[in-house]
Amino acid sequence: MAAGTLTGKVALVSGAGRGIGRAVAERLAREGALIVINDMDEEPAEQAAQAVRDAGSEALTCVGSVTSADFAERFVSTAIDGFGGLDIVVNNAGYTWDAVIQKMTDEQWNAVLEVHLHAPFRILRAALPHFKAAAKAEGEAGRPVHRKVVNISSLAGLGGNAGQSNYATAKAGIVGLTKTLAKEWGRYRVNVNAVAFGMISTRLTADHGRPEAWIDVEGRQVRVGIPSNVIDGAAGLIPLGRAGTPAEAAGSVYLLCTPDADYVTGEVLSCGGGLAL
């Protein structure tokens, strides 16, 4: 078993089969956390789970769409039944489906809000009874414990982004949810924070003209990524001069999961190399 700052903690990480989510799962695992991996597809979920085991920790998988009606309860139950508790929730799952507003369909709008905002709400609602029960028991025993929620937002949610009214609205909503739950859940010693990512090198920020930019989302073919000319110009806008890596993105999430962040709640940490939209 890996030993570190999160030894024995149980973490849910949605969208952990690839990209930032997988990097977060591996980072928390290296610090000793037990990870419940979620992805829509079984193969990447199992690959990520094996990476967690290779890092010296333990992993379970909960395959399926975070937007499914029964997902939130199933996700939380996987942690409780499999590992005996729940300490960390990272709401990371999502994708982009871009268009300027006059070309955006109701389907595009609703799908992106569903995955980026409605699903985290349901997951956190399902987690609360366990947080409350644990806080009560630990308080009575005189050994208070802090638990962590890290919601993933975006610089688009803080400043808007052309062509992403659905995504920017969802990510702004996550900020509101984060700040509200920080106020509601402080009594249970749950720290609720968010990380707003800028340009991180994943399939969501790769050239949308490549063949693999088309992904299947519950039977819908969605083109993800951004135009190549935007990618080419992005480095000049980022003070650090480059896009971030998934490992660097994961580091910012990890910071908010550590005991050093026990008195930090209701905050939004920007992780964008200095970029401000």
Q: What is the DSSP string of 38-57?
A: EESSHHHHHHHHHHHHHTTS
For 94-123, the pLDDT digits (tens) are 999 999 999 999 999 999 999 999 999 999
Average pLDDT estimate for 157-163: 95
Is the distance from CB of 77 to CB of 64 less than 8 angstroms? no
Nearest alpha-carbon partner for 186 in 142, 132, 140: 132
Reduced to 3 states (helix: H, G, I; strand: E, B; else coil), residue 11 is strand
DSSP letter for each residue of 84-119: S---EEEE-------B-GGG--HHHHHHHHIIIIIH
Reduced to 3 states (helix: H, G, I; strand: E, B; else coil), residue 248 is helix
The number of residues in the chain equals: 277
For 182-239, the pLDDT digits (tens) are 999 999 999 999 999 999 987 666 555 666 566 667 777 676 766 666 666 777 899 9
**Strand 268-271 with 220-223, pairing:** unpaired
| Residue tagged active-site, from 95, 167, 188, 263 | 167
Q: Based on the residue annotation, tell me whether 254 is a catalytic residue of this protein.
A: no
Q: What is the pTM assigned to this prediction?
A: 0.93
Distance in angstroms (rounded) separating the CA atoms of residues 267 and 99: 30
**Taking the alpha carbons of 135, 139, 142, 147 in that order, is the dihedral positive or negative?**
positive
For 56-74, the pLDDT digits (tens) are 999 999 999 999 999 999 9
Q: How many CB atoms lie within 10 A of CB 137?
A: 11
Average pLDDT estimate for 42-61: 97
Whether 1 shows a pLDDT value over 60: the answer reads no
